[in-house]
Structure 1
Amino acid sequence: ICYDIEFPELVRIVARKGAGIIFVPFNTDTRHGYLRVRHCALARCVENHIYVAVAGCTGNLPFVENSDIHYAQSAIFTPADAEFARDAVAAECSANIETMIIHDVDVEQLRRHKQTGSVQNWNDRRQDLYKVVYLEDGEENVV
């Protein structure tokens, strides 16, 4: 959720478990904050051969503490490769306008891309140099 997309290890774990799309609800109050979420989401698409949908709050709630102003531009991102959407953006709304995005994504295309895409980030990881170790149900796991 929001800040979590800024940690590559979390997405690596769920991608390893088979996730093809990550949903990122977010609440940012400036364009700078939004761009941090956007750029990290785009990076997770490239690193893990997945889609990421970011959905942000727009408008303002003047009587709700820390929710008086928002900046958002919801979007669906893809891996940055020729077979996907231009600029790795499958769909996006205009900034700060309350909008719903509906877009079909092809999870099978992701599976093919992981094996045949022009860049093989997932397959080319240097597991001899680094590993992601995490705990789940008290048990240590490695990605």
Structure 2
Amino acid sequence: MLVAAVQLTSKANKKKNLAVATALMLRAVRQGAELIALPEYFSFIGAKPEMFKEAERSKDGAAYRMVREFAKAHGVYILAGSIPTITEKGSDKKSTRLLNRSILFNPSGEEVVSYDKIHLFDSDLEETRAYRESETFRPGGELRVVDTPFGKVGLSVCYDLRFPELYRSMTLKGARIIFVPAAFTEYTGKDHWLALLKARAIENQVFIIAPAQFGKHAEKKSSYGKSCVIDPWGNIIALAPDCETVIVADIDFKFLAKVRKELPVLKHYRKDLFQL
């Protein structure tokens, strides 16, 4: 099965971001991809006031419509990495929060499942700056694993990657593919991004599809990139160069079965001892 991961440098220009994403998805379709994954914040990256202004009300938004219509027009599955989404308002502007929502569409353009990012990135990075995702977003409260014609898939977003329990829980629910759309910082990404992705793939014996943001979005915001697809043995079977691009990989579920047969760690997992 051919899968694709799109790498973008999204900025505070939604129309342009969506045009670039569309062009790269077209390239993936021409290469035969059946499943295309977009990165976190693919439609827009900007300051907090701009994020609220450009946030979507689910099915009415430009990013949602673009992905839905593309999936239907080209008969492919698409993961909309994440779309900042308004679902409810607080009593005032200060208390209103968005959801960082990832959505999977089927080849008919129908929404199969959505997932709201659980873990929010609040961090003081000495070498760069402080990040307070919780000032703009509120966390989701449910993990998502869904059936597809190619098996069960699990959804996660960016900072979720640092919480292995989430990935083990999705694997125990049957996930064979797990998505990790992201906008990892350059500072953390250079040392942690690929290491964490490989760890999640190896320990759960799943395929990881990780479309990422790359490059400079604004004066004080840059992302690491290195979009990739990783197999259940931890091999990087596709890796993006440092530019806006799309990578395509052939994932083989027979290989997944072989890995799980040779190293049956999921059968040996002591559910009686671990509280998940």
TM-score normalised according to structure 1 size: 0.72
Spell out, residue by residue over 1:53-72, the C-alpha distance to the aligned partner (whole angstroms, 9 max, x if none): 11111132227xx6x32221
Spell out, residue by residue over 1:15-35, the C-alpha distance to the aligned partner (whole angstroms, 9 max, x if none): 111111111111122153353
Match of 2:216 in 1: 60
CA distance, structure 1, for counterparts of residue 176 and residue 214 of structure 2 = 27
Match of 1:140 in 2: none
Which contiguous aligned blocks of 4+ residues in structure 1 show a shift greater than 3 angstroms? Answer: none
| C-alpha contact 1:6 1:37 (8 A) present in aligned 2 | no
Shift of 1:13: 1.1
Identify the match of residue 223 of structure 2 among 44, 63, 70. Answer: 70
| C-alpha contact 1:2 1:27 (8 A) present in aligned 2 | yes
Q: Tell me, which stretches of 5 or more residues in structure 2 are unaligned?
A: 1-156
- Cα RMSD (Å) of the superposition? 2.1
Report the count of equivalent residues.
120
> How many percent of aligned residue pairs carry the same amino acid?
28
| C-alpha contact 1:52 1:77 (8 A) present in aligned 2 | yes
Give 3-state SS (helix, strand or coil) of 1:20's partner: strand
Trace 1:1-143 onto structure 2 (pairs within 5 A): 1-62=157-218, 68-80=221-233, 88-94=235-241, 96-115=242-261, 117=262, 119-127=263-271, 130-133=273-276
Give 3-state SS (helix, strand or coil) of 1:56's partner: coil
Query: For residue 103 of structure 1, what is the amino acid of its counterpart?
Result: A
Shift of 1:44: 1.2
Spell out, residue by residue over 1:70-123, the C-alpha distance to the aligned partner (whole angstroms, 9 max, x if none): 22111111123xxxxxx61111112x31110111211232123212x2x33223
| C-alpha contact 1:56 1:73 (8 A) present in aligned 2 | yes
Give 3-state SS (helix, strand or coil) of 1:91's partner: strand
